Amino acid sequence: MSVGYGAVGWNRQKKRYDFFLVLGIALYLGAFMGAGAWLFPDVTAETLMIRAFGSAALILLHLILLVGPAARLDARFLPLLYNRRHMGVTMFLLALIHGSFSVLQFHAFGDMDPLLSLLTANTQWDSVSGFPFQQLGFVALIIFFLMAATSHDFWLVNLTAPVWKALHLGVYVAYGLVLAHVALGVLQAEQSPRLWLPLAFGFVLVASLHVIAGWRERACDREQPEEMGWVKVCSPQDIPNQRGVVVTVSGERVAVFRDDQRIMAVSNVCQHQNGPLGEGRIIDGMITCPWHGYQYLPENGCSPPPFTEKIPTFQVQIREGSIWVKSLPLPAGTAVEPAVWGGES
Ligand code: HEM
Ligand code: FES
């Protein structure tokens, strides 16, 4: 909901969240290096730093990937989702420090340019035990850089939401590269399952949470049967006051809201970052996106002035005690008469 681009403000909650994020990372790095120096006195400080920052980035990357499906399964995780971009930028910085120390340690003391050495020193692509795993980490770091550099809403608006979203789905490619980087580079030298186990556990956790969240959403994606261009949704009592339900109509997700006696339907997709409007609520008479609070008037899908976002609306009827939604959307921002329900609110 913005005039130019919609920067999400830096509020107290975000500052508190960032404080705990930085504190948690500082405690982790301190504990890792302290315990490492005590348990393995032969390991150099540089190696400990490389390992501390690399593992901190990896743990944060797992948290970032878990937040999305966790918030789809349980709304209590939503506050973490709002702040996921801060986690992403922090993770990139940790990985950058890890990568920079590695380049310094392993590539800076020869005749060759350190970056060239990183990319060309090892070319055993056909060997598992000697695979050039550092290049994989480098490519992942480039992807994280592109994501961190375009994380601001300015880029979301200028690149357009679909392009921005596609770019940020690159996190899954980078995750695969990082898993291969760690598995091939470090773990192959390990005889004990000490490091394999957490890596495999992290992957199984991320994969299974995504599968469970996707499976749950399939129930909502089940198409409602159409009768003469209208689709039966549910009865008005099934929608809590000032809340919505999400149904799939002609392949599109539609959010059907109840505000006391009035029933209205709009597209479920928020113009900001495709947030699920149907999971939001009506605040001050406006549908409020659960992700970052963009607002839309339910009767015409327009953000209140001076904001300019618009979403498609749908015609609604109440017949024989049930809500019916017209299967074809109206153009974004079209005013529609709400259906009025005669029952108790
Ligand atoms: C330019 C990019 C990168 C370079 C040159 C690089 C280099 C290295 C090297 C040399 C090691 C072995 C360190 C050792 O002796 O234990 C390593 C391990 C590791 N790297 Fe990277 N890396 C890069 C990017 C990344 C990224 C993007 C991540 C994750 C987000 C990452 C996560 C890790 C982890 C978790 C380990 C294992 C740490 C441990 O031994 O506990 N690396 N990396
Ligand atoms: S406000 Fe950000 S996705 Fe809706």
Domain ranges of the chain: 12-220, 226-340
CATH T-level fold of 12-220: Four Helix Bundle (Hemerythrin (Met), subunit A) (1.20.120)
Report the percentage of the chain scoring pLDDT > 90.
Answer: 57
Ligand with the closest atom to the CA of 276: 2
Residue 306 preceded by cis peptide, ω within 30: yes
Choosing from 14, 279, 291, 307 the residue with most ligand 2 atoms within 8 A of its CB, the one to mutate for a pocket test is: 291
Predicted confidence (pLDDT) at residue 5 exceeds the cutoff of 60:
no
For ligand 2, whether the C-beta of 294 sits within 6 Å is yes
Other Cβ atoms less than 10 A from the Cβ of 307: the count is 16
Q: What is the mean pLDDT of the chain?
A: 88
pLDDT of 190 strictly over 70 = no
Instruction: Please give the radius of gyration of the chain, using alpha carbons only, rounded to the nearest integer.
Output: 25
The ligand placed nearest to the CA atom of residue 187 is 1
End-to-end alpha-carbon separation of the chain, Å?
30
Q: Is the minimum distance from the CB of 58 to ligand 1 under 6 angstroms?
A: yes
CA of 180 to the centre of ligand 1 (A): 11
Q: How far is the CA of 201 from the centre of ligand 2 (A)?
A: 32
Residue 204: exposure state from Cβ atoms within 10 A (0-12, 13-18, ≥19): exposed
Cα 143 to averaged position of ligand 2 atoms, centre (Å): 24
Task: Give me 115's structure tokens.
Answer: 């970056």
pLDDT tens string 245-281: 988 887 788 999 999 999 999 999 998 878 889 988 9
pTM of the model: 0.76
The class level of CATH for 226-340 reads mainly beta
pLDDT of 15 strictly over 90 = no
